[in-house]
Amino acid sequence: MQMTPTLGTENQSPYQVFSRREIIALLRGLRDSNQLISMVIHNGSEVFITSILDINESTNLIIVDSAPGKLANQRIIEAPQVSFEGLLDKIGIQFSSSKLELIDFENRPALQFVIPANLIRLQRREYYRINTPLSTPIKVSLPLEMDDKVDILKLSLVDISCGGIAILDEKKVLDCSIGTTIEHCKLDLPGIGLVEVVLQIRNHQELVLLNGKSNRRIGCQFINLSNAVLSNIQRYIMKLERERNAKLTGIG
């Protein structure tokens, strides 16, 4: 998402939610759909992936997964502010807390804080973005010049839209300088086939996963898509949406 400082940089005040009922409904939506969210400290210098475990209206508290490791959790509870960012369907959700507490929840460490008095709900997306399957990752092949020869680097997609993709570079070998353009990239879209695209890197972020491993998420924009390629990508997104809706309704 720039699961992270990427959900929006414009004036967000028109998108703030102050209704307690609506805030709790959105947080429950994140919890009930098991959405992973980013937990960001020190202005984005550290990002941890977490999820909502419990929301207690009577105590006015929310509980999320802890970070891997005591030192990481110590940095989180000592941070002056912790920001949370995630996606619920097509909606970007952002909220923050100035104080987190490390607790035990169902025999495991967790973090607890007060339910936010307001949050930001962003529905502005130039293109509808959908997560790609985790069980069968979609691959993008990128030509990479190394030692005077060209190697093909294959990375997994996180999500896709008609405007671009987000990819994971676990070994952190791709030059992720903002504005870098990579030509002759190939997307292998199940049921559609190979499509060739030009990618431009727009953002990147270091992630710490729940298992303690680190990963790099890179947001890329499509450059000068042909109508034929755009049509194929739209077909694939529609295919994913149909499959997701079938699972939600119990048909698939």
**Last-in-domain residue among 122, 150, 167:** 122
Tell me whether residue 135 is in a domain: yes
> Bigger pLDDT: 223 or 86?
223
- Domain assignment present for residue 103? The answer is yes
118 and 165 belong to one structural domain? no
pLDDT band at 3 (very low <50, low <70, confident <90, very high): very low
Do 140 and 239 lie in one domain? The reply is yes
Residue 212 has pLDDT above 80, yes or no: no
Residue where one domain finishes, among candidates 77, 101, 122: 122
Q: Are residues 44 and 114 in the same domain?
A: yes
Flag whether 52 is in a domain: yes
Strands (E), 91-138: 91-97, 101-104, 109-114, 119-122, 130-131
Domain-located, residue 70: yes
Residues 110 and 179 grouped into a single domain: no
CATH of the domain at 80: 2.30.110.10
Verify that 24 and 90 share a domain, yes or no.
yes
One domain, residues 140 and 213: yes
Domain contains 217: yes
- Do 110 and 67 lie in one domain? The reply is yes
Q: Which residue has the tokens 């000068």?
A: 224
Q: Does position 4 have pLDDT exceeding 70, yes or no?
A: no
| Average pLDDT of the segment spanning 156-165 | 90
Residues 96-125 have a mean pLDDT of: 89
93 and 134 both lie in a single domain? no
Mark whether 211 and 161 lie in a shared domain: yes
Three-state DSSP class for residue 165: strand
2 is a domain residue? no
Among residues 122, 157, 182, which one ends one of the domains?
122
Residue-level pLDDT at 89: 73
Q: Please name which of 193, 122, 116, 131 lies closest in space to residue 166, comparing C-alpha atoms.
A: 131
CA distance readout (Å), 176 to 167, 184, 202, 207: 11, 17, 8, 14
The parent domain of residue 70 ranges over 13-122
- Domain CATH for 244: 2.40.10.220
Q: What does the pLDDT read at residue 248?
A: 60
Q: What is the pLDDT of residue 25?
A: 95
Pair 115, 134 in one domain: no
**Same domain (yes/no): 136, 153:** yes
Task: Identify the band that residue 6 occupies on the pLDDT scale cut at 50, 70 and 90.
Answer: very low
Domain membership of residue 192 (yes or no) is: yes
CB 211 within 8 A of CB 72: no
Question: Does residue 98 lie in a domain region?
Answer: yes
Q: In the chain, how many domains are there? A: 2
**Residue 34 confidence class, pLDDT cut points 50, 70, 90:** confident
pLDDT-wise least confident of 4-18, 183-197, 219-233: 4-18
